[in-house]
Structure 1
Amino acid sequence: MPSQRTDPEPARSEEEPDSGSHSGGTRGWRRLAKVVTGGATPVRSDLPSSDIERLRAPLAEPRSLVVLGCTGGAGQTVTALMIGHTLAAHRDDRVVAVDVNPGPNGLSRRVGAQAPETLTALLANADAVDEYEHMRAYAGRAGTGLEVVQTLDDPYVQTLDDRDYGQLTGLLGGFYGVTLLDPAATGVARALPVTDGLVLVAPASADAERAVSMTFEWLDGNGYATLRANSILVVNGVSKRSLQDVDAAERVARGRCRAIVRIPWDDHLGSSYTKIDVGALRPATKRAHGALGGVLVNTLAPA
């Protein structure tokens, strides 16, 4: 992300980029809405009612999503967490994020939701996890309602194969409406065959144009052209200084993905090794992620 910044541009989401239309995700954002989700504490939301309605749209069946960075440092893990927090805070069904990318700055380290067991233990004991109460031993719960299956520093996760990913998404689909996967580079090819949706993440930098182009080429060359065409591109860390680079990346993506969403620069999200506190985010950041979540649910909901 840029080392220097100015005040960010307003959040912008663009659906069906080839048509040049905009979702209007910033209209009416000053209105407050209280959202009551199933069994959860009412959530105070400053999202516009139109975005809240889209976030809460029912899904006909459980869905799994892969969040994939187009290049290193794009903000893949932060985006996965923010999608999870946003959906969990507004939806009635359960949402789980799975850390499949062990390391010191992984998803497990950036959420205050610890469970007694890890992903490795969940897969080893999958046959015994036949009720939600059993699942709770493997999934910590954040204040937003997002549940997290953690990995921490377990190197075994890097060896998971296609069967493991299929077993994992099948198991979690029995308890959660939405499953988010945050895979390491070595796991992407194994995760994509079992996903229902794809979120691509690019940084608001000079590298974004090349990274998006190469990612699209890789997806098309490996049989994922349909998944690419229905994907959402997130451009992270947008500021006035980076608009030229952002425009260049969007020109590559326009007409080749389902939607493009800009996320403004936020110091809180840009701090590595820091647990994300949704309440500490700027209003523009919350609005942008609300628009992203609404577009995402729209791609997964029945036509």
Structure 2
Amino acid sequence: MSEKRKVDDAPGQLLQTDEELVEQYHGELPPTPGDDLAAALPESLSITVDLPPAPAPEVPAEEVAVAIDEVSVNPGHVEVSEPSTTSVDIVAPSTTSVDVAAPAPVVDNSLSRRDRLRGEHSSDPESAAMLTADRLLDVNRKTRPVPEGGWNRFVYTVTFKTLNLGDSAKVRARKEMDQRISKVFEGGARFVPILTRKGGVGKTTVTALLGMALADAREDRIIAIDANPDRGTLSERVNKQTRATVRDVVTKAPSIQGFTDFTTLVSRDETRLDILASDTDPLLSEAFDENDYNVVADLAARFYSIVLTDCGTGIVHSVMRATLQRADSIVIVSGGSVDEARLASETLTWLEANGYGDLVRNAIVALNTATQGTNLVKLEEIESHFQSRVREIVRIPYDPQLAAGSVVSYKDLKPLTKDAARTLASLVVEGLPTSRRDA
């Protein structure tokens, strides 16, 4: 059965069957309206349709690219053209050179143990001396040292080494002092002259005490040179092991190749302090001048860390000038009498007037209370005067060994005398530069 269909271009027209439509198409039926128009059309027909451009999609402002010339570019609208190769000149934006001073590098040579435990390290290379047992070993029952001190050690023993109270307060103070005296130096020897304008105030004795305290607590080498042109007596404070003097060092200087050669010319005491004697012949002692001292000092600087110089009372002597030019710190010795304290103060004034003000401000005054007249003056007033001019003052107490003026046995000194010598040594060391950069 044929299906009736509706002709779209003829509204209201009757429905036709498929057969009727075919017959009409082949001309068997009379033409319908519009057939003349269809006959006039060509077989192929091209129709051009102008369509409006598609609207560009909106792009969020944060996705819009910004070109170098600050013109917004819409990534959603792209003009397509025939592929071609085009050369484009790109001009780099001009830059302005600005000289900015680089900040100075920060050097920290004093990291604490807590900083090192957090993984921080010093920016400067560390020396081998920094690898101490205190730094590397964890403190526990096995590595903690045996306590020193009567009661603390007794408790440690009776508890079968399970209860360690640590060192006593006295022992801790001694070890702290040792640590202060044992300060490590880099960059050559340090020179410390001991001087005053008046003889007989114990300058040579103070030199020997200072040298022994340093040599007893430190691991490096300490030497005391008797540079007194008026027949010094420093070598008489230790047991002599040689008759050589500073004159022999000057004479044999070209043949001294190492420390072993130098040690044959010095005397060494029980604390390992080396002492180089002065000339014993008064006629030759006057010949020891600035040039001779420089020869001796240059050799001593090769083999020792700290060089003490026992100076004479002639402050204007040429040896004194050479001594002060090398000095890193000085010790001024004063007696306990009025005139001795005044002459010591005048020594400071002379140094300030001759360009050694820095040495004066860093100086240590050793106040020898074993001289005559000490019990008649107010030592507190003398100390108050020097405190306004120098860094520190140390009292040296009376000791029978020192009063005898002969060989000094460091281990047999009174505890108070030994403590004073160690205090003097620690203060002197604290005033010395750690490295030559700090000088």
For Structure 1 versus Structure 2, the TM-score category normalised by the shorter chain is 0.7 to 0.9
CA contact 1:115–1:137 (8 Å) conserved in 2: yes
Does structure 1 residue 177 correspond to structure 2 residue 305?
yes
Alignment pair present for 1:50 and 2:176: yes
Aligned runs of 1:222-301 on 2, under 5 Å? 222-237=354-369, 242=375, 244-272=377-405, 274-301=406-433
SS of the equivalent of 1:200 reads: strand
- Cα 1:174–1:150 change in 2 (3 A) is same
Q: 2:270 is matched with which residue: 140, 143, 146?
A: 143
Question: Which is worse superposed, 79-88 or 154-163?
Answer: 154-163
Query: What displacement does 1:243 show?
Result: 8.2
Instruction: Quote how far apart the aligned CAs of 1:223 are.
Output: 1.8
Q: Secondary structure at the match of 1:138?
A: coil
**CA distance in structure 1 between the partners assigned to 2:202 and 2:365 by the alignment:** 12
Does 1:220 pair with 2:352?
yes
Aligned-pair CA distance for 1:71: 2.2
1:28-177 to structure 2, matched below 5 A, reads 48-60=174-186, 61-101=188-228, 106-155=233-282, 156-177=284-305
SS at match of 1:73: coil
Query: Deviation at 1:205?
Result: 2.0
1:167/1:80 Cα in 2 relative to 1: closer, same or farther (>3 Å)?
same
Displacement, 1:91? 0.6
From the two aligned structures, give the one with the greater strand fraction.
Answer: 1
Task: Indicate if the aligned counterparts of 2:351 and 2:360 stay in contact, CA closer than 8 A.
Answer: yes
SS at match of 1:71: coil
Distance 1:103 1:157 in 2: 6
Return the letter of the residue paired with 2:309.
Answer: L
2:230–2:285 contact (8 Å) kept in structure 1: no
Contact 1:111 1:276 in 2 (8 A): yes
Measured at CA, do residues 65 and 241 of structure 1 come closer, stay the same or move farther in structure 2, by a change above 3 Å? Answer: closer
How far apart are the structure 1 equivalents of 2:184 and 2:290? Answer: 29
Per-residue deviation, 1:104: 7.1
CA distance in 2, matches of 1:164, 1:193: 14
RMSD: 2.6
Deviation at 1:110, TM superposition (A): 1.8
Q: Distance in 1 between matches of 2:217 and 2:239?
A: 19
- Describe the superposition over 1:199-230 as per-residue Cα deviations: whole angstroms up to 9, x where unpaired: 10001223243123211111112221111111
Mean CA deviation greater in 292-301 or 182-191: 182-191
Contact between 1:212 and 1:253, CA under 8 Å: does it hold in 2?
Answer: no
Report the CA distance between 1:127 and its aligned residue: 1.7
Aligned to 2:11: none
C-alpha distance in 1 between matches for 2:395 and 2:301: 29
Quick check: which has more Rg, 1 or 2?
A: 2
Per the alignment, do residues 169 and 104 of structure 1 end up closer, same or farther by CA in structure 2, a change over 3 Å counting?
closer
Over residues 219-257 of structure 1, what are the superposed CA-to-partner deviations in whole Å (9 max), with x where a residue is unaligned?
112221111111111101269963843222222211321
- Indicate how the Cα distance of structure 1 residues 113 and 59 shifts in structure 2: closer, same or farther if over 3 A, else same: farther
**Looking at both structures, which has the greater relative contact order when contacts are Cα pairs under 8 Å and sequence separation is at least 6?**
1
The alignment's TM-score, normalised by the length of structure 2, stands at 0.55
In structure 2, what is the equivalent of residue 19 of structure 1? none
Contact 2:201 2:334 in 1 (8 A): yes
Query: Are the aligned partners of 2:266 and 2:277 in contact in 1 as well (CA < 8 Å)?
Result: yes
Which TM-score applies when normalising by structure 1? 0.78
**Structure 2 stretches lacking a partner, 5+ long:** 1-147, 151-169
The alpha-carbon deviation at position 57 of structure 1 amounts to 0.9
Aligned pair count? 261
Deviation at 1:179, TM superposition (A): 0.9
Partner Cα separation in structure 1 for residue 296 and residue 149 of structure 2: 40
Q: Conserved in 1, the CA contact under 8 Å of 2:190 and 2:305?
A: yes
- 8 Å Cα contact 2:182-2:217 kept in structure 1: yes
Q: Which runs of 5+ in 1 are unaligned?
A: 1-29, 33-44
Task: Check the 8 A contact 2:363/2:392 in 1, yes or no.
Answer: yes
Distance in 2 (CA, whole Å) between partners of 1:221 and 1:54 is 32
Paired position in structure 2 for 1:16 = none
- CA shift for structure 1 position 196: 1.8
